[in-house]
Amino acid sequence: MGTPKDALVCGAGGFIGGHLVKKLKKEGYWVRGVDLKLPEFSETEADDFVIGDLRNPQVCRKVTDRPFDEVYQLAADMGGAGFIFTGEHDSEVMHNSAMINLNMVDICSKMRVKKMFYSSSACIYPEYNQTDADNPKCSEESVYPAAPDSEYGWEKLFSERMYLAYYRNAGLEVRIARFHNIFGPEGTWQGGREKAPAAFCRKIAETPDGGEIEMWGDGKQTRSFLYIDECLEGVRRLMDSDFTGPVNIGSEEMITINGLAEMIMGIAGKSISIKHIKGPLGVRGRNSDNKLINEKLGWKPSLSLEVGLEHTYKWINKQVQRASSAGHISIKTTEDSKGLGKTPSADILPAGNK
């Protein structure tokens, strides 16, 4: 059978990283995960798991102890609109994520890692191309002249350029994808860092039929959302290809935020009114442009938004009911959920201690 490929997943305690570990294990990989924490909602399937802070170069050197076949760099300081667009966390978001990327790309280059994936974001696209909710422009080449609407987006754009510089100057094989609003079960659903699909699933699950939920803005802003399984299929196809990227990994099924909430209400079988309030919004319109990924990789999403939301609502509703039956909904503060204030040592948890 031969020796299985080995992979390092940075950010393996998070939503996308946790799912990626499971997918790689199903494909026969030996997998090491690293993060500040273990996955919150299920046991990790990694062969070993390192609890460590990738802002610390010593941790990066410890986890990258071999020329891995594949490294997936998903670790970042991030969250939903309530975290990214307030302006209160800009310096820490840029510092923390940049430090992780600076450390990891350098050590992977020195260790002669065979291939490295970097998860960029649709947040890098210029705000001036996303003012029309009905006709946003997010094709890959439209990123310049650069004008992201958040410091999170600026850091992602800087890191893209850094990975490409290591590709040109050091021969590090990199693959770069720009994620567009990935959602699904086992993602953050409360505490201030959850994305829109999870936030509305939670609000609607908590609200009785005939009740009311709040929404930032008029709800006419548009987005597209990609289910986690589709995202991972795109990532694996990119890694197995000879295409460096950057390339969008997202859905072209654009919907208003009002429409998103109404779709979830339909799934829940509830009629709930929406109270529009002031709050951070981001760009007016954003939608993945999948022309390039279809051309280069022959890929496009096959799962509808509604089906993905059905899976997600079912899972979040269970979390809400479980918390409710325990007598409370445990809402973490943004500070508590951030988890980047400490610099733990790199402790390896072997299989069986997950």
* Token pair belonging to 51: 């609890």
263 residue type, one letter: M
| Catalytic (active site) residue 313 | no
Q: Which residue among the candidates 29, 72, 125, 152 is catalytic per the annotation?
A: 152
C-alpha pair distances (Å), 9 with each of 13, 30, 44, 335: 9, 11, 12, 25
Query: Considering only CA atoms, which of 245, 347, 237, 256 is closest in space to residue 301?
Result: 237
* Cα–Cα distances in angstroms (integers) from residue 102 to residues 66, 109, 143, 161, in the given order: 18, 11, 22, 11
d(CA 265, CA 272): 7
Angle between helices 228-239 and 15-26 (to 10 degrees): 60
Tell me how far apart the alpha carbons of residues 2 and 168 are, in angstroms, rounded to a whole number. Answer: 32
Q: How many CA atoms lie within 13 A of 330 on its CB side?
A: 8
Tell me which DSSP letter residue 150 carries: S
Residues classed as catalytic: 152
